[in-house]
Amino acid sequence: MSQLTRRAALAAPLALATPALAQAYPTRPITMIVPFAAGGPTDTVARLIAQEMGRDMGGSVVVENVGGAGGTLGAQRVATARPDGYTILCHHIGMGVIPSLYRRLSYDAVNGFEPIGMITEVPMTIVGKRDLPAQNLAELVALVRQRREGLNMANAGIGAASHLCGLLFQSALGVPLTTVPYRGTGPAMNDLVGGTIDLMCDQTTNTTEQIRAGTIRGYAVTTTTRVSSLPELPTAAEAGMPGFAVSVWHGLYAPRGTPAEIVTRLSTSLQKALAVPALVQRFNDLGTAPVTAEQATPAYHRQFWTADIARWRPVIQAASAYAD
Ligand code: ASP
């Protein structure tokens, strides 16, 4: 019996004593908003946990993609939804960046949410279209320096992980590229495979299978160690870009004012989902792993998120990298 399963077994008698509100929840499908297009990395993570959470809660958790504006449209939808537990948000590192990046938003990007729990942290990869002449990162750097704006780089809008990683890439090289925004890197990947996009920085949850199949080129992984699902892919540091490190954390949120018992119910369900062996295996295949049960709690998530907002604020201020 795993530690989590043991904890769940011990908690069972307590569940019988939970307040009536939580016992009656959920009585209808829960909508999980993904603030990016279908088929991308956030969508992949969301669908995997939604399926397991639905199973656990005896109902369905339906994923709805509300892409656009770097993830702010979907976040707004949840911040302004009824705080009844039937609309929740699956979002990533953008939640730490957007409060400083966007000076004008029609929702409260910090106080508009109740954190439910963290989900996973995903490495990013620097990838290019298959017929790009560069065979490795050193050759790519040379090509970028030579072709500059003649090369384009896709991202999922300002505040998306692909945007942040792309900015780091361009500033490490001191070269601006032509950026092409999408509603998510799912559709951007189609164009990278099709060859109308040259470059992208994206999460392993979206790039692993394409790199393995050879439909795109993988140049480097942006973590300090290699990922086991792509053992041939060097880290950016190994391939000649020391200090280039970025990974993407994900979390679940409810609208502010959602009753604590419901947030706890969702968090418990998330923790159970993250312990399901098939989900753990799928995450591993895509270069990631679930967070611990403790990290999938509202308290841990709130503390991590608050620290991440504080981490990004001076970086964005120093770069004057505002979205408006
Ligand atoms: N996570 C986004 C998506 O799912 C991509 C990004 O943040 O760059 O499309």
How does residue 322 score in pLDDT terms, banded at 50, 70 and 90?
low
Place of tokens 């890197």: 185
Residue 17 has pLDDT above 50, yes or no: no
Q: Residues 84, 292, 303, CA angle at the centre, nearest 5°?
A: 60
Candidates 270, 235, 246; CA nearest to 90 is: 270
Domain 123-221 in the same topology as domain 3-122+250-319: yes
CA distance 191 to 67: 17
The radius of gyration of the chain's CA atoms, rounded to the nearest angstrom, is: 20
- Cβ(68) – ligand 1 distance below 6 Å: no
- Cβ(162) – ligand 1 distance below 6 Å: yes
Q: Which atom of ligand 1 is nearest to the CA of 44?
A: 4
Evaluate whether 250 touches 42 at the Cβ level (below 8 Å): yes
CA distance 278 to 282: 6
pLDDT of 316: 82
Q: Which sequence spans correspond to the domains of the chain?
A: 3-122+250-319, 123-221
Q: What percent of the chain has pLDDT above 90? A: 82
- Cβ(123) – ligand 1 distance below 6 Å: no
- Cβ(179) – ligand 1 distance below 6 Å: no
Coil, helix or strand for 136?
coil
Mean pLDDT over residues 228-244, rounded?
93
Q: What architecture is the 123-221 domain classified under in CATH?
A: 3-Layer(aba) Sandwich (3.40)
- Cβ(160) – ligand 1 distance below 6 Å: yes
How does residue 315 score in pLDDT terms, banded at 50, 70 and 90?
confident
Q: What percent of the chain has pLDDT above 70? A: 91
Mean pLDDT over residues 106-127, rounded?
97
CA distance 222 to 247: 7
pLDDT of 107: 96
Mean pLDDT over residues 58-76, rounded?
96
CA distance 190 to 202: 13
CB-based burial, 139-153: b 16+ in 10 Å, e otherwise: ebbebbeeeeeebbb
CA of 40 to the centre of ligand 1 (A): 6
Candidates 264, 270, 274; CA nearest to 252 is: 270
- Cβ(56) – ligand 1 distance below 6 Å: no
Residue 8 has pLDDT above 50, yes or no: no
Q: Which atom of ligand 1 is nearest to the CA of 165?
A: 8
CATH number attached to the domain at 3-122+250-319: 3.40.190.150
Mean pLDDT over residues 90-108, rounded?
94
Q: For residue range 268-307, what is the model confidence (pLDDT) as tens digits?
A: 999 999 999 999 999 999 999 999 999 999 999 999 999 9
How does residue 12 score in pLDDT terms, banded at 50, 70 and 90?
very low
DSSP state of 70: G
